[in-house]
Amino acid sequence: MSKKFQASVHHRDDVGFAKLSGVIDEDNELADLTDSIPGSMVVIELGEVERINSCGVRDWVNWLNALEAKGAEIVLVECSPAIVAQINLVNNFTGNGSVKSFYVPYFCPECDEEKVLLCEAAEMGPPPHEPPVCRCDGCDLVMDFDDMPDSYFAFLSNQKKIAKPEAVQSVLDEFGGATSEPSRIRSRVGANATGNISGTALPSVPSLPSISGVGTGVGSHPGTMGGIEQTDPSMYEVAPAEPSQATYNSMVFVLVAVLLAAIGVLGFLVFSS
């Protein structure tokens, strides 16, 4: 299985459970999971899905269609912000299924910290939907909701009810992740190899090389010049200055004068003999 994409599958009675994490792109292996998930209900945990691209969306929709063709009801739990964005963008992203829970992103301007809070769709109430209050672990101030409420919670207006919520909760208690109150809020960082929470971590920007000085002063590498490697030291040598036009003119005048003087001396010697 791809290192970018991980999946684990369990089942209890007539309910299948699949936990997906990492990146869902063209290298996903969703189709291989279809036959390994039995049951008339399939619970899919998505809290650690960091990103999903257009190829991943296509394969995801086809995968849900294959599961529903087997007669399974789809229930999505712990949807990461990346998944919520796709639910709002793609009409059939959830198929005929429903969203039980999802993460809401927050940001603390004082501590420069990001968090995601797990919310139950059934507890959000009627529209207009507002993000629940979330406090920062560092300064205890109320954190800012890190999105637009109208667009982020748009999917809740078409939310379907879950046929057997008690069966879903039973599977989550046995195989799920965020089952306790402390785990409802997590740091919003990228999922790592140990499976810690997802989110939409910003890509890092490479630092630019320093060009703040020229020469090989104190602290600089002897083979560098202002952060630029010297391939040929002679390229930095100062060439001797070219003579100016005035200098050339003076030299010509002196040569002409010397030549005339020589001719005069030669003529005097010839006629005096």
pLDDT, tens digit, 9 for 90 and up, residues 58-112? 999 999 999 999 999 999 999 999 999 999 999 999 999 999 999 999 999 999 9
Which amino acid makes up residue 51?
R
Predicted pLDDT of residue 239: 40
Write phi, then psi, for 103 (nearest 5 degrees): -95, 140
With CA atoms as reference, report the closest residue to 108 among 183, 185, 32, 164: 185
Predicted pLDDT of residue 205: 29
Residue whose tokens read 């005096």: 272
Domain map (residue ranges) of the chain: 5-187
Residues in the chain with pLDDT values less than 70:
1-2, 177-183, 186, 188-250, 273
The architecture (CATH level 2) of 5-187 comes to 2-Layer Sandwich (3.30)
Facing residues of 5 across strands? 22
Which amino acid makes up residue 88?
N
Characterise 123 by phi-psi region: left (phi > 0), alpha (psi -120 to 50), beta (else): alpha
